[in-house]
């Protein structure tokens, strides 16, 4: 896969979960990878684990919902690399369902800031860097981008719907510039974000996952990462504005 060799890639939320698997895949193929996360401590824990990120990697601490932080990230990329070939917007947070009529402004603002505003601000900067030379962007959405959920909050569901909207709008606007923008929508994935469900115990976890998809299993982050790399690559030059769902048949079952 030498098409990734020496290319410059950005992965937000790349110090844990799905983002870390995507960063790991890009590094293995020889890309220069800029990982963005909110906390150095999270990245340090990853690097001290049994599966550290190795290769041409740099970490930038930033909150993608903050304009100044995003500006600093892209200023650093311009200074060090002078270009951006690939971008994956994986940063996001999750909160569990509460009754819609009891859902507070503080919770709403936190989820929308991280999961929508952050994606918008990063995409805006990514598109500006790619506009002359083309590139490929993949956004991480969710199966709840096309349905409601009894486990996720109103803000989370609304945010993931919005990610698909941003993906499609940018795909239409920038296709003539040689920039492709797609989305991947995973079902429940075995990462730290699933820990609250796992903590409920094996029986309840199995019951919930079995109700969601025919295989009664979690999606693994490695499968999501493989699909993201497929979409980033030149093998998918005619795929633009698309959503690929990775959910073991969950949405087909609905």
Tokens of 65: 């919902």
Q: What is the DSSP letter of 188?
A: S
List the one residue out of 180, 194, 65, 185 whose CA is nearest residue 130: 180
**Catalytic annotation present for 174:** no
Cβ atoms 166, 223 nearer than 8 A = no
List the one residue out of 99, 65, 60, 55 whose CA is nearest residue 80: 60
Exposure on the CB side of residue 173, measured as CA atoms within 13 A:
12
Helices and strands: H and E segment counts in the chain: 10, 7
Catalytic residue among 86, 103, 156, 174: 156
- How crowded is residue 25: how many other Cβ atoms within 10 Å of its Cβ? 22
> Strand (E) positions, the chain?
8-12, 32-37, 57-61, 86-89, 135-140, 179-186, 243-246
C-alpha of 133 from chain center: 23
Which residues are designated catalytic?
Answer: 156
């Amino acid at each position: 896969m030498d098409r990734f060799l020496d290319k410059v890639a950005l992965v937000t939320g790349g110090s844990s979960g799905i983002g870390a698997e995507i960063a790991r895949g890009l590094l293995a193929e020889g890309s220069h990878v800029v990982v963005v996360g909110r906390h150095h401590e999270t990245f340090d824990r990853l690097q001290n684990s049994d599966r550290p990120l190795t290769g041409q990697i740099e970490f930038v601490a930033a909150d993608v919902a903050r304009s100044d932080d995003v500006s600093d990230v892209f200023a650093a990329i311009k200074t060090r690399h002078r270009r951006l070939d690939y971008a994956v917007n994986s940063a996001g947070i999750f909160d569990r369902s509460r009754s819609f009529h009891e859902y507070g402004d503080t919770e709403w603002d936190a989820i929308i800031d991280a999961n929508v505003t952050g994606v918008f601000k990063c995409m805006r900067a990514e598109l500006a860097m790619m506009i002359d030379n083309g590139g490929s962007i993949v956004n991480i959405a969710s199966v709840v981008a096309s349905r409601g959920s009894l486990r996720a909050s109103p803000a989370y569901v609304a945010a993931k719907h919005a990610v698909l909207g941003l993906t499609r709008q940018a795909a239409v606007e920038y296709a003539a510039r040689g920039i492709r923008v797609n989305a991947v929508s995973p079902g429940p994935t075995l990462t730290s974000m699933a820990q609250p469900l796992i903590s409920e115990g094996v029986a309840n976890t199995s019951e919930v996952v079995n109700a969601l998809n025919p295989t009664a299993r979690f999606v693994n982050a490695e499968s999501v990462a493989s699909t993201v790399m497929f979409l980033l690559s030149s093998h998918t030059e005619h795929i633009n504005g698309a959503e690929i769902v990775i959910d073991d048949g969950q949405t087909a079952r609905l």
